[in-house]
Amino acid sequence: MKKPLLLGHRGFSGLYPENTPLAFMKVADTGADGIETDVHICKSGELVLCHDERVDRTSNGHGFIKDFTYDELLELDFGSWKDPAFAGQRIWTLGELLDFCKEAGLMLNLELKNGIEFYPELERRSAEEIRKRHMEDTVFVSSFNHVSMQRFKELAPEIETGLLYESPLQNMAHYLDGCSADNVHPCWHVFEYQPELMELFHSRGMKVNVWTVNDESAARFLLGLGVDGLIGNYPDLLCRAAGR
């Protein structure tokens, strides 16, 4: 069995507050290969890491990220919502996480969050941050916005792209004909319904990285199908399922 890529979804988000320095750092302790995270652009122009377009769910603030300066975001607590023990966790910039991953030897899957809020410069700015650190071989990007992935590939053909999607789609082979993406990133449940898609994707030379896998039996099922990457909230669980 080939060695799959194992990534902590929003860091080690099962046990620690998602997309925070603590959640990112804890992935390195599990033996997993890297991190999956989400990037936005705030009001003052910094690329910042948060899943939602708003800060309400994962901080003590209220409102859209695009309406906060970075200094204002730094005043928010991104840890207490998970547990008071995590009080004081702050938001990181993309640059900070890239520097951490480079030092720790971790891969990074960067999801461009330009579906609800559209950030016109997100593709170009993200590519610049990756290139500046010469991390083109250890970072790959993905998005539910497949037009964004097409644009990213045109701007940075040397960086791998992935198409995120959640539900089974009609005539997937035909859809792929019009895409330049390197990989596909389906919700793992798609393969319960269409296991034959693994062969289709691989026949196109595409790697298959699935989310969000939080069950060992599901992980073993997917590994048996030949999945290339597993993304989950518990990277230690993924490591156990993969026999690491």
Partners of 229 in the β-ladder: 5, 209
Nearest to 89 by CA among 34, 16, 26, 35: 16
pLDDT given at position 105 = 98
Catalytic pick from 40, 51, 62, 146?
51
Partners of 184 in the β-ladder: 163, 208
Catalytic annotation present for 9: yes
Q: Does 81 score more than 60 pLDDT?
A: yes
- How far is it, in rounded angstroms, from Cα 193 to Cα 52? 28
CA angle at residue 119 from 113 to 123, to 5 degrees? 75
pLDDT tens digit sequence for 153-173: 999 999 999 999 999 999 999
Q: What is the DSSP string of the chain?
A: -PPPEEEEETTTTTTS-TTSHHHHHHHTTTT--EEEEEEEE-TTS-EEE-SSSBSTTTSS--SBGGGS-HHHHHTS-SSTTT-GGGTT----BHHHHHHHHHHHT-EEEEEE--SSS--TTHHHHHHHHHHHTT-TTTEEEEES-HHHHHHHHHH-TTS-EEEEE-S--TTHHHHHHT---SEEEEBTTHHHH-TTHHHHHHHTT-EEEEB----HHHHHHHHHHT-SEEEES-HHHHHHHTT-
pLDDT given at position 54 = 98
Residue 80 neighbours by CB distance under 10 Å: 16
Catalytic annotation present for 51: yes
Confidence of residue 1 (pLDDT cuts 50, 70, 90): low
Partners of 162 in the β-ladder: 142, 183
pLDDT tens digit sequence for 93-124: 999 999 999 999 999 999 999 999 999 999 99
Q: Does 139 score more than 80 pLDDT?
A: yes
**Is residue 60 within 8 Å of residue 89, measured between CB atoms?**
no
Could you give the domains of the chain?
Answer: 5-53+94-241 (3.20.20.190)
pLDDT tens digit sequence for 27-49: 999 999 999 999 999 999 999 99
Catalytic pick from 9, 40, 146, 185?
9
pLDDT tens digit sequence for 173-197: 999 998 999 999 999 999 999 999 9
Segment 213-217 mean pLDDT: 98
pLDDT given at position 2 = 72
